[in-house]
Amino acid sequence: MFHKSKALPSAGARSPLRCNRFVTAVTLPLLTFTLVVGMQGAGNGGGRGAKDPGVRGGTPGAGTPVSGLTANQLAFFSAGIESFEEQDTVTSGLGPRFNAEGCAQCHAQPATGGTSPFVNPQVAVANDQGATNQVPSFITLNGPVREARFPYTLDLKHIDGGVHALFTVTGRTDAPGCNISQDDFAKAAQEGDLIFRIPTPVFGSGLIETISDATILANMNNNLSQKHNLGVFGRPNTSANDGTITRFGWKAQNKSLEVFSGEAYNVEVGVTNELFNTERDQTPGCQFNPTPEDSTNFDLDGTSLPSDLIRFTMFMRFLDQPQPGTSSPSTQHGSQVFSQIGCALCHTPSLTTGLSSVAALSNIPANLYSDILLHHMGPNLADNVSQGVAGGDEFRTAPLWGLGQRIFFLHDGRTSDLVQAIQAHASGGNRQYQSSEANGAVNNYNKLSGGDQQDLLNFLRSL
């Protein structure tokens, strides 16, 4: 949850050395990447001609509800998608600070609920309705949707870690008299105190919610000797509230879809709601509505039309898992290679859901390609933000279902190229963080023939 986010309290945190390293890791990811390839692959990593075939075209393999829902559940799904696609105005709760005007602006590709689209809507959002925002340098028309966090406060004196919204409602015709400034992202970038997160897709998220803790732990304890031989460990993130395994977000920091909806509505869009009911910026003159801005509809008879919060939740909970594209001898062989070289030790191909009060979600194989565990990913990927038990270098194994139709990869969207996404998994340790648990698998990838590498990439784009 947002308020539990904090940056890693590392001893050398504010030393110039830490800053240099941080700048290398965050502001110059390409440079870091070059170093890593040189270190790991002895020049053979990308050098065998294997290429990412690119975003798979054709009809979206996602966006429909799970089969077997009741008529009433389907009605909730339909009401939910409508709310998810809505754009808020100041009158309906937008701001005072925000990253976008509605869920579907960020969760869009290849269908509503997905990830960053080809054209980043944040560029237009910056000046919508007369808003006078400057577009920060890391937001570009053809780049990924991004949100920003500062690991430390702008004076670098205190731990921060929280999301700093990119935009304000200042200048909008529906926010007369409000005059607040954007945060200083240029300064944060200069200080090396800026990290990014891109949207994760929510397809199949109701299934992720329904996988039992016991299933996750049993899978964690599978193939232990094979995992340890390759340097793979992994542990769950857990809720500070009830101790159970949390699943959602890049660091598996959030417990449920409802909690994520409440947080996202307030943090991304600025709409207070029954889970997060306080405005994050309470500057007088910029408060246009009583709070919470989204709430249960008391004007009805209590049996219908719940809050947006519940509608978002139901839409996401009922969204089916992405369907893969057509398989070929190459993708079938690539799938075997994926397991043989150790990718599947973290990216578990399938976990079966437990018993849900929604029958259609019960006992379903969720082909998510994730163990829902945190792994140490090395200084190259580390973002210095700690959430729940996840340290600054730990991330949830990113689910790979739907990968074939995704445009941007890794938590900060640093690449659109699968080969670079794989190479970025590898880095040696430094004073602050241990080496990546994926080094062994990436070494194995780099030793493959060009043909095997190509089959693996084709397999990934078939997902």
Question: Residues in the site for ligand HEC, rule: CB under 6 A?
Answer: 99-100, 103, 105-107, 145, 147, 197-200, 202, 205, 232, 248-250, 257, 260-261, 264-265, 268-269, 312, 316, 341-343, 345-347, 375, 377, 381, 395, 397-398, 400, 403, 409-411, 418, 421-422, 425, 437-438, 441-442, 445, 460
The dihedrals phi and psi of 260, each to the nearest 5 degrees, come to -65, -40
Residue (of 268, 264, 250, 260) closest to 381 by Cα position: 250
Least CB distance to ligand HEC at residue 301 (A): 26
User: Between residues 16 and 311, which has the closer beta carbon with respect to ligand HEC?
Assistant: 311
Residue placing its CB nearer to ligand HEC in the complex, 106 or 275: 106
Task: Work out the angle at residue 422's Cα, subtended by the Cα atoms of residues 419 and 425, and round it to the nearest 5 degrees.
Answer: 150
Least Å from the CB of residue 232 to ligand HEC: 5
Residue (of 272, 274, 356, 374) closest to 317 by Cα position: 356
Query: At its nearest, how many Å lie between ligand HEC and the CB of residue 133?
Result: 13
- The neighbouring-strand residues paired with 6 are 386
Residue 16: CB minimum distance to ligand HEC, A: 25
Is there a contact between 354 and 362 (Cβ–Cβ < 8 Å)? Answer: yes
Distance CA 150, CA 147 (A): 10
Copy the structure tokens of residue 412. Answer: 């900060």
> Cβ of 119: how many Cβ atoms within 10 Å?
12
How many residues appear in the chain? 463
| 399 prior amide bond cis, ω within 30 | no
Smallest distance from ligand HEC to CB 398, Å: 4
Measured from the CB of residue 459, what is the shortest distance to ligand HEC in angstroms? 9
Give me the least distance between CB of 111 and ligand HEC, in Å please. Answer: 15
Nearer to ligand HEC, 268 or 279 (CB): 268
Nearer to ligand HEC, 76 or 409 (CB): 409
* Residue 177 CB, nearest approach to ligand HEC (Å): 25
Nearer to ligand HEC, 14 or 123 (CB): 123
**Minimum distance from CB of 171 to ligand HEC (Å)?**
19
As given in the structure block, the two tokens for residue 384 are: 């210095």
Structural contact between residues 62 and 201, judged by C-beta atoms closer than 8 angstroms = yes
Dihedral sign of CA atoms 401, 149, 376, 452 in order: positive
Q: Where are the beta strands (DSSP E) in 132-217?
A: 147-149, 163-164, 167-168, 195-197
Nearer to ligand HEC, 10 or 273 (CB): 273
Question: What residues have CB less than 8 Å from 241, skipping those under 6 apart?
Answer: 255
To the nearest whole angstrom, how small is the minimum distance from the Cβ of residue 6 to ligand HEC? Answer: 13
CB nearer ligand HEC, residue 100 or residue 366? 100
Beta strands in 101-228 (DSSP E): 147-149, 163-164, 167-168, 195-197
Distance between alpha carbon 170 and the CA centroid of its chain, in Å? 28
Instruction: List residues bridging with 415 in a β-sheet.
Output: 409
Measured from the CB atom, is 343 or 358 closer to ligand HEC? 343
**Alpha carbons 75 and 83: distance in angstroms, whole number:** 13
Listed residue (399, 387, 394) closest to 436, CA to CA: 394
374-376 and 351-352 beta bridge pairing? unpaired
Comparing CB distances to ligand HEC, the nearer of 19 and 460 is: 460
Structural tokens at position 327: 């398989």
What is the C-alpha separation between 222 and 212, in angstroms, rounded? 16
Closest distance of CB 344 from ligand HEC, Å: 8
Q: Which is nearer to ligand HEC, 90 or 198 (CB)?
A: 198
Between helix 29-41 and helix 16-26 the angle, nearest 10°, is 80
Q: Which is nearer to ligand HEC, 15 or 327 (by Cβ)? A: 327
Rounded to 10 deg, the angle between the 450-462 and 329-340 helix axes is 100
Q: Cα(216)–Cα(235) distance, rounded to whole angstroms?
A: 10
CB of 192 or CB of 262, closer to ligand HEC: 262
Q: Residue 205 CB, nearest distance to ligand HEC (Å)?
A: 5
